[in-house]
Amino acid sequence: MARKNQLAGDSHWWRNAVVYQIYPRSFADANGDGIGDLAGIISRVDYLASLGIDAVWMSPFYPSALADGGYDVDDYMDIDPRIGNLDQFDELVEKLHSNNIRVFVDIVPNHSSDRHEWFQEALAAKPGSPERDRYIFRDGRGENGDLPPSNLASHFGPEGWTRTPDGQWYMHLFTKEQPDFNWDNPEVEEYFLKTLRFWSDRGVDGFRIDVAHALKKNLDPLPDRDSYALSVMKDDGTDPLFDRDEVQDVYRQWRKVFNEYDPPRVAVAEAWVHPHRRPPYASEEGLGQAFNFDLLASGWNAEQFKNVISDNIAMSDQTGSSSTWVLSNHDVIRHATRFAIPGYGLSPDSFDLENQWYVNHRLDHDLDLDMGLSRAKAATLLMLALPGSSYIYQGEELGLHDVVDIPSEQMQDPQWFRGEGKFKSRDGCRVPLPWEASGPSFGFGPGGSHLPQPKWYADVAVSVQEADSSSTLALYRGALKLRRELYTSDELQWLDVKPGLLAFRRSPSWICVTNFSDEPIEISGEVILASAEITGNLLPANATAWLSSL
Ligand code: GLC
Ligand code: CA
């Protein structure tokens, strides 16, 4: 029997929601073992409510060996005992709901972990058995089958096939601990429908779908692949591994499950596909919304921002969905640090979505950290003025930078271990949050921290920023509060402004203007919020202001 959702009623809540991403292992640790947990999150619900967000999305909290930060799931319908249990999950959902905060959980359908019951059964069963058919097992090539079935790299390293003791091989697009499911097997389909109902019945409002463009594959013939660059992926629905047209059949089924609930459950696709292929994921018959990662690749440049914004609004108009905006998440360099890389996004040498599936963590540059933070705050204020929903990542409200000096032996990210030096680690954006200026783990918990925290955390802790009305935290709170009041429609109208500025009107009483240049520029209108101090009517370089008229 489905639990009654305390927030039933409004089925459009997601369209312009501000969703806060929690990386559970690094948010708050209640029992002092150095790993964030549900009890920690429960103890910080007041903080979440004080931000003025509409929803939280929790990255995986399922039982896992953490071969890929929890994106290797042992059991989709349980909680890692180090993180908590289902009773605590229910308590958390209830507490969030009573604070008007909805809940997204992360669903990882392309692969399970190699410790999943089904994979263990598959290993124990014979080649050709129904147990093996839930995954992708094949015989090897060569006389003794000791060559992999095809020349397939994985995202995190050279090999996309791993051999089992009996000689067969299994396919994994990520680490060898993340075997890919066979999505042509009806049992797999059923299992995920059951998983979606399991969490929906517990009151979960939405789902973030991991690698939503994978799942369906054409394995005849077995594909070779040595790069995961977007430019290598076919853009017409016939790529053997990604974004195949028939993956939408899966999501049409899921949509039926979402619509069994009141309000209907919602979902957002993580689909790194060619931009023109994004609309089907965001359609009403499909998942309903898709991440737009284009701002991750944008340099600090008015024209790039304007193009990304116009293109994405046009794209969401095609589907009747709303656009999404992302500046940071658990896979990329925090945007304060990205914008601290001189020339970031402006030259082919920096992050290029076309050539790199993940942001290439090029932190070997000289960083201008102050400039990075100014631009990050300006970009955030601009993003929060856009129509659609914004996804913000824990710690960005503190203006955190990536931790760039984690010693190699303390890194946890497989992208670091398996990347053959091509990628830096994603651990830099996953370091446990600073809540207090002192203490064993800066208030993260009564014990230590599973990744080392830097000394500068003392200056940026929540407690420090709460006492400072000009802090980044105060800016986020102010912006989210005002946004609620000012957001009356999805209309956006570009304004003709001086070179270096980018400005748009959202309503008669809401204009957003950003100074992308290196010099202050004069603006007119009443400033209602700004990412930097305004003297006279000069908008400083690298700053955004919200105005009530221009
Ligand atoms: C997604 C996740 C990433 C993970 C990968 C494999 O991109 O965001 O963290 O490594 O999928 O599950
Ligand atoms: Ca803990």
pLDDT computed for residue 333 by the predictor = 87
CB of 23 within 6 A of ligand 1: the answer is no
CB of 71 within 6 A of ligand 1: the answer is yes
Provide the whole-model pTM. 0.96
CATH of domain 13-112+187-358+369-404+455-479: 3.20.20.80
Ligand 2 center to 63 CA (angstroms): 14
CB of 358 within 6 A of ligand 1: the answer is no
pLDDT computed for residue 353 by the predictor = 39
CB of 108 within 6 A of ligand 1: the answer is yes
What digits encode the pLDDT tens for the residues 300-325?
A: 999 999 999 999 999 998 888 999 99
- The mean pLDDT of 262-277, rounded to a whole number, is 94
CB of 107 within 6 A of ligand 1: the answer is no
Ligand 2 center to 85 CA (angstroms): 12
Please list the residue range(s) of the chain that carry CATH number 3.20.20.80. 13-112+187-358+369-404+455-479
What digits encode the pLDDT tens for the residues 34-43?
A: 999 999 999 9
pLDDT at 132 over 50: yes
pLDDT at 2 over 80: no
Percentage of the chain with pLDDT > 70? 94
What digits encode the pLDDT tens for the residues 347-364?
A: 544 444 333 333 444 555
Ligand nearest to C-alpha 446: 2
pLDDT at 241 over 90: yes
Ligand 2 center to 446 CA (angstroms): 9
CB of 331 within 6 A of ligand 1: the answer is yes
3-class secondary structure, 16: helix
Q: Which two tokens stand for residue 146?
A: 């000791």
Pick the atom of ligand 1 nearest to 68's CA.
10
Ligand 1 center to 328 CA (angstroms): 14
Q: Residue 148 in contact with residue 141, Cβ under 8 Å?
A: yes
pLDDT computed for residue 5 by the predictor = 62
Indicate the pLDDT class of residue 228, thresholds 50, 70 and 90: confident
- The mean pLDDT of 410-421, rounded to a whole number, is 80
Ligand 1 center to 23 CA (angstroms): 12
Interhelix angle 369-384/472-486, rounded to 10 degrees, is: 10
CB of 211 within 6 A of ligand 1: the answer is yes
State the CB neighbour count (10 A cutoff) for residue 317: 13
- The mean pLDDT of 143-153, rounded to a whole number, is 96
CB of 68 within 6 A of ligand 1: the answer is yes
- The mean pLDDT of 443-472, rounded to a whole number, is 98
Pick the atom of ligand 1 nearest to 358's CA.
7
- Single-letter residue type at 214: A
CB of 174 within 6 A of ligand 1: the answer is yes
Strand ranges, E, within 157-276: 161-163, 169-171, 206-209, 266-269
Choosing from 68, 178, 358 the residue with most ligand 1 atoms within 8 A of its CB, the one to mutate for a pocket test is 68
pLDDT computed for residue 367 by the predictor = 86
Ligand nearest to C-alpha 26: 2
Indicate the pLDDT class of residue 10, thresholds 50, 70 and 90: confident
Please list the residue range(s) of the chain that carry CATH number 2.60.40.1180. 488-547
Ligand 1 center to 331 CA (angstroms): 7
pLDDT at 194 over 80: yes
CB of 114 within 6 A of ligand 1: the answer is no
Choosing from 215, 331, 429 the residue with most ligand 1 atoms within 8 A of its CB, the one to mutate for a pocket test is 331
Question: What separation in angstroms does the CA of 19 have from each of 48, 236, 305, 318?
Answer: 11, 31, 21, 23
CA distance 309 to 228: 26
pLDDT at 331 over 70: yes
* Residues designated as active site: 210, 260
Pick the atom of ligand 1 nearest to 71's CA.
12
What mean pLDDT, rounded, does the chain reach? 93
Ligand 2 center to 84 CA (angstroms): 8
pLDDT computed for residue 456 by the predictor = 97
Choosing from 23, 71, 416 the residue with most ligand 1 atoms within 8 A of its CB, the one to mutate for a pocket test is 71
pLDDT computed for residue 3 by the predictor = 54
CB of 191 within 6 A of ligand 1: the answer is no
CA 218 to chain CA mean position, Å: 27
- The mean pLDDT of 426-443, rounded to a whole number, is 96
pLDDT computed for residue 341 by the predictor = 82
- Give the bridge partners for 154, in sequence order: 157
Pick the atom of ligand 1 nearest to 414's CA.
10
Question: What separation in angstroms does the CA of 473 have from each of 320, 428, 433, 545?
Answer: 33, 20, 13, 16
Pick the atom of ligand 1 nearest to 272's CA.
7
CA distance 177 to 162: 9
CA distance 493 to 506: 7
Ligand 2 center to 38 CA (angstroms): 8
Q: Which CATH architecture has domain 488-547?
A: Sandwich (2.60)
* Closest residue by CA, ligand 1 atom 4: 71
Contact partners, residue 541, CB within 8 Å, separation at least 6: 374, 515, 517, 518, 519, 520
State the CB neighbour count (10 A cutoff) for residue 486: 18
